[in-house]
Each structure stands twice: as C-alpha cells, then as structure tokens.
Amino acid sequence: MIVLVTGARSGFGLLIAVAAARAGHRVYAGLRDLETRGELEAAAAGLPVTPIQLDVVDPDQRRAAIDRIIAEEGRIDALVNNAGIAIAGFLEELSSEELRRMMEVNLFAAWELTRLCLPHLRRQRSGAIVNVSSMAGRSALPGLGGYAATKWALEGMSEALRHEMRPFGVRVAVVEPGPYATDIFGRNRQTAGASGDQASPYAAMAAKVEAVFSGTKFGDPQEVAELVVRLLDEPKPGLRYPLGPNVRARTWMRRILPFRVEERVVKKIVGF
C-alpha cells in the first residue's frame, strides 16, 4: 500500500509513518520543513519511508506531493490527514487570524489533500482516508473552543465523505484521540496572543483551566499510531474511533446523558 502521512515531523505523524512502514506499507511522510527530517529519518532507518516536502496549507506543495507519489509509484492507496495545530484561548480572546489559521491547517488542508487523492482512489475503486480528529471533535471544553470548531467541522466532512465514497470502494474513518503525550501539548503548544493578560475577564478561568491541564494524564501516542495502521487494512472500518485516557467515560456521557449533566461535570472540574 502506498500511504501519505501529513505532519510527520514528530508525534502521531512520525509514529504513524514508522508503524505503517513496519507493517509493510510504502510511506511518504509529509514535512512542513524538510530540514526537520532528522528525527523521522532516525526513527525510520531501514524502513520504506520517504520524507517529502509538504506544508499542508501551500497549494503548490500539496499538488506537487501527490504528483510526485503518482509519478514514482503509479498509485496512491491511503491518505492520513494528521497535520494539525491547536491554539488555546477563550473564544472572545482568539483573533480572527488565529481561528482562520487553525481552520486552514485542520480543515481546509485536509479537504484539499483529500480532493487531490480522490480521483486516483476512485479509479482504483479502493483505498482509505483516515482523518485524525480529536475528542474535541465530540466534546468542546472551555479554552479550546476554536480548536474544537475545526475538529467538529472535520468530523462532519468525514461523515459525509464516507457516504459519498462508499460506491467507489474508498473507506473513510476518523480517529479521535484524547490527551496524548505529543508535541501539540509540548514544544508546539500555542496560546492566543491575547491570553495571559491578568486584566482579562477570563484570567481566573484561565488559571483554573491551566491547573486542570497540568494535572492531565497523558496516554502513549503509539496507541494512536497502531490504530491508524490497523485502519489502513481494515476492510469495513467503523466511522469514529475514540481512544485515550478517560475517553470511554466521556463518550458514554455524551451519548447517554443530557448535556446539562456534562455541563455540571465540566463546571466541577474547572471550578467555574
């Protein structure tokens, strides 16, 4: 299987690329900057993984990446839309530029890459699209409203795409990680430019949310990589795959209980 994985510098993307190659797939690993490929190359040494220049918000790079794969391999069998960013901040304090940036990376780039792949997958009447969403795509928490908006949109797009691709034999699935120890919570963590102002009406809330975040139990991201690789070969995947610490309780609460119960739980956790 010829697989393109976006956002493969580190975290889920790097682990997915390596795990897919170990499973016998030929992997093209998209990087926003090829100069950062050292960690990927070290992890994938001896495996069929090719780092490829791919800033997902650059139309020319998106097109060049797909064209290169088709030229070199004659086909593409799977796209893993993993690249994503999160900018934390209360909605009133997010700038329009910050929200648009998240939408460009998390939603529009995934849509554009999918559109470039679909003609090839439809002609083959086979293939897979795996979109890496988040539990934020099911349950929106304070301080992550903008990020949640992008993931809810990605989930809706994925659900419709699954229906549209069924007649062509193209499988679509969504992976919904909870909190995992990746760079999105580490060196790549971003907050809104207006955050941190002690005069903000949200300053007390922000401190409580930060305290909750600091005490969060993070899972092993290898679990996510292994799930994605299983989905590449799954002939009849489900649509949504939530996983991670406390995820079962969160999904159960969302499915079974009225929203006011969830609202009380969130209020109790964050303390406001």
Burial 224-244 (b: 16+ CB within 10 A, else e): bbbbbbebbeeeebeebbbbb
Strand residue runs (E) in 167-207: 171-177, 190-191
Specify whether 28 is catalytic: no
What are the φ/ψ torsions at residue 264 (nearest 5 degrees)? -65, -40
Note the residue count of the chain.
Answer: 272
Active-site pick, 147, 180, 202, 241: 147
CB 28 within 8 A of CB 3: yes
The terminus-to-terminus CA distance of the chain in angstroms comes to 49
**CA 218/CA 184 separation, integer angstroms:** 12
Written as one letter, the residue type at 176 is: E
174 dihedral zone (left: phi>0; alpha: psi -120 to 50; beta): beta
Which tokens sit at 155? 């989930």
What is the rounded CA–CA span in Å between residue 269 and residue 272?
Answer: 8
* Beta carbons of 129 and 165 less than 8 angstroms apart: yes
Give the three-state DSSP class for 148: helix
Catalytic residues: 147
